[in-house]
Structure 1
Amino acid sequence: MTVTTPRTTMTPLRRRLLVLLAAVLLLAGAGTAVVLHAAGRADRAGQAQPGGPTVTAGRPTLGQKDRLMFVNAAAGPHRGAVASVPAGDPQGRRTAADLTCARFYAAAGTGICLQSNPGVLKQSNRALLLDSELRTVRTFALAGTPSRARVSPSGRFAAWTVFVSGESYSSAFFSTRTSLLDTRTMKLTPSLETFSVVKDGKPYHASDVNFWGVTFAADDDTFYATLNTAGRTHLVRGSLSRRTVTTLAENVECPSLSPDGTRVAYKKRVLSGASLWHEYVLDLRTLRQTPLAERHSVDDQATWLDDRTLAYALPANGRVGSSDLWSVPADGTGTPRLLIAGASSLAPL
């Protein structure tokens, strides 16, 4: 007798169940692959890109001499950290501190670090006053997004600028707030807008006044900054003791005073209505302007390496969200050269 095995007929319900099971298995496999890939990517994130700078953890301090400190923008676990290199070997091995900053500056053993920490409900922005060991002395809440930071040559005064609306100086609508801190008394001036303004020799009052980009002289009283009002920017000289500012020249942004106190480097808007700036140096005695050899648009507050050389940040070629530090002679001669790749916020010690 021949035994015939009954033929199983696949019902529509069973067919749907098999399709669902196959989809679940496929998604599970894809999820595992994604997790493994993410883990591998996380491992690689802790390594610098091939050919990039060597960055090691350490304890750089503000008391070290002949060093350049900056915010490390190179890929890897120390991205965003304050780092240090020898001034004589700026592209050498970097020593990174356990401190991250969006903006940083230091002088005479005093540092200022502006941090921007995204939160679930609200972004937290703060300024950290640092001692020579990069330890936090005081913390100050910021009213907006970090933009500029400076410390006076003596270390007594610090200043910082934030955007309270808009995200850059090229925005159609933006507002800034610049604060001043006496690090000896801890007296904080929350806004430079409380200072009296003398414009073109006359007292000036306007609701649209904005300040940014403070730079200090060596006398612990004189400073320079940008004043913006009525759609125009001005270089102003200020007095901390008298709480006044006076306009000196027009179309000046983000000034940086030379070590000898005779010149100001600044970015000048060269095309009205466009986000295009060129770097210039202004002689404070004659008000003569000298264009520098850098032909790229520089949206930065330059730093003097010495009385002859300026450094500034430019967007890194091909590295999204990164920047490089370049240098150029301050007299308009020469050519720009790469100073430190993957870096910003330079502070020469």
Structure 2
Amino acid sequence: MSLRRRILIFAAVVAVLAGVAGLSFLRAADRAEQRNRVQAGGPQATRGDLSLTEGEDGPRIVFRNLAWGPHRDELVSVPAAAPEGARTASGVSCLRFHAAAGTGICLQTVKGGVQEGYRAVVLDARLKEVAAHALAGIPTRARVSPGGHLVAWTVFVGGDSYAGTNFSTRTSVLDLRTGRLDASLEEFTILKDGKEYRNADVNFWGVTFLADEQAFYATMGTGGRTHLVRGDLAARTVTTLRENVECPSLSPGGKRLVYKKRVEGLPAEAPWRLHSLDLASGEETPLAEQRSVDDQLVWRDDRTVVYSLPGDFGADLYALPADGTGNPARLMASALAPAFLD
């Protein structure tokens, strides 16, 4: 092969490689530009004063902010009438959160040491720490009673998903009036089908409190099945009511529960559909959301529920009528664990 031919082949190879490199650079730049546009277009948050009571501009929503930026994972607030409006950031970070009657529960990461830990922090109306308790696992659910006197939280202590069966949870209830902490509902007496029941595989999660600040509903898992239970803090008992109920949430009027229910034929990793239960009649109604929802719903009012679904930055919040009518509507982007304060 002549020298001239070798030079031409070499030049052609260099040209091809340069073209490939240039194309890769342009694609990378395009992806970066798209990512920056998404981030720049996300909800904006600014540090300011935040409380767990109704603001001067009326009812507000407090929730975990998932938008990228310096205030990601902080509690932020927006007017309930403008959920996609500018967010006021608190400086308090939470993985899970709920609030009612001026009391908040914040499940947060504890940094430092060889391994991260977690703790449950009770907050007053000005987001000041009232009490704190170490957690035995990864935070997953949190609730405050309507009167603000009781708080509950659930953590994963084995496994990290409700979709399968290989998980273990621990649910605790704290009475702020007395300081009494029931570290695990598994210590309560279980009444199943009218008889006392014991099993090493019992798990509880998803507490929702009644207005009397004494009783609650929750999920109990055992024997591969889930049960709706009603608990009594004074008697330290839980009683099974019906099967196939997970993460119940009681309406403000106390007449209905909404929850997720496993439906036969759905994928194992996305097995749930949302349902509503009339407590007086026992009538169950499927809600209009056709996607699988892995969340404990929150009531915006006595007619509408709010829940999270995966979004660009982790999760978005959706609103839906609780009577089976209507269609899901996105309430806000980049948000999780809302509390509606009015």
Q: Return the TM-score normalized by structure 2.
A: 0.85
- Which residue of structure 1 lines up, in the alignment, with residue 52 of structure 2? 62
1:240 and 1:120 mapped to 2: Cα distance? 36
2:166 and 2:49 mapped to 1: Cα distance? 41
- Asked if 2 retains the 8 angstrom alpha-carbon contact of 1:48 and 1:76, the reply is no
Deviations 1:40-86 (A, max 9, x none): x9xx99x9822221211112101225101110011111110001110
Q: Partner of 1:193: helix, strand, or coil?
A: helix
Residue 161 of structure 1 pairs with residue 154 of structure 2: yes
1:213 deviates by 0.2
- Which residue of structure 2 lines up, in the alignment, with residue 86 of structure 1? 79
- Asked if 2 retains the 8 angstrom alpha-carbon contact of 1:48 and 1:74, the reply is no
- Asked if 1 retains the 8 angstrom alpha-carbon contact of 2:165 and 2:224, the reply is no
- Which residue of structure 2 lines up, in the alignment, with residue 274 of structure 1? 268
Q: Partner of 1:287: helix, strand, or coil?
A: coil
Q: How many residues align?
A: 303
1:204 and 1:172 mapped to 2: Cα distance? 20
- Asked if 2 retains the 8 angstrom alpha-carbon contact of 1:48 and 1:54, the reply is no
2:228 and 2:167 mapped to 1: Cα distance? 19
- The counterpart of 1:211, out of the listed 193, 200, 204, is 204
- Which residue of structure 2 lines up, in the alignment, with residue 291 of structure 1? 286
1:280 and 1:48 mapped to 2: Cα distance? 34
1:48 and 1:132 mapped to 2: Cα distance? 34
- What is the identity, as a one-letter code, of the residue corresponding to 2:162? Y
Residue 329 of structure 1 pairs with residue 324 of structure 2: no
- The counterpart of 2:249, out of the listed 243, 249, 256, is 256
1:252 and 1:266 mapped to 2: Cα distance? 6
2:111 and 2:273 mapped to 1: Cα distance? 32
Q: Partner of 2:300: helix, strand, or coil?
A: strand
- The counterpart of 2:41, out of the listed 51, 57, 62, is 51
- Asked if 1 retains the 8 angstrom alpha-carbon contact of 2:63 and 2:77, the reply is yes
Residue 308 of structure 1 pairs with residue 303 of structure 2: yes
Which aligned pairs between 1:7-46 and structure 2 lie closer than 5 A? none
2:114 and 2:282 mapped to 1: Cα distance? 48
2:247 and 2:97 mapped to 1: Cα distance? 15
User: Which deviates further from its counterpart, 64-73 or 147-156?
Assistant: 64-73
**Kindly, what percent of the aligned residue pairs are identical?**
56
- What is the identity, as a one-letter code, of the residue corresponding to 1:287? G
1:246 and 1:263 mapped to 2: Cα distance? 18
Query: What's the C-alpha RMSD, in Å, of the aligned pairs?
Result: 1.7
- Which residue of structure 2 lines up, in the alignment, with residue 339 of structure 1? 331
1:119 and 1:278 mapped to 2: Cα distance? 39
Unaligned runs of 5+ in 2: 1-31
- Asked if 2 retains the 8 angstrom alpha-carbon contact of 1:70 and 1:346, the reply is yes
1:231 deviates by 0.4
1:271 deviates by 3.3
Unaligned runs of 5+ in 1: 1-40
- Asked if 1 retains the 8 angstrom alpha-carbon contact of 2:164 and 2:268, the reply is no
1:243 and 1:270 mapped to 2: Cα distance? 32
Which aligned pairs between 1:177-256 and structure 2 lie closer than 5 A? 177-256=170-249
Q: Return the TM-score normalized by structure 1.
A: 0.84
2:66 and 2:204 mapped to 1: Cα distance? 27
Deviations 1:121-154 (A, max 9, x none): 2221100010110011111000000000000000
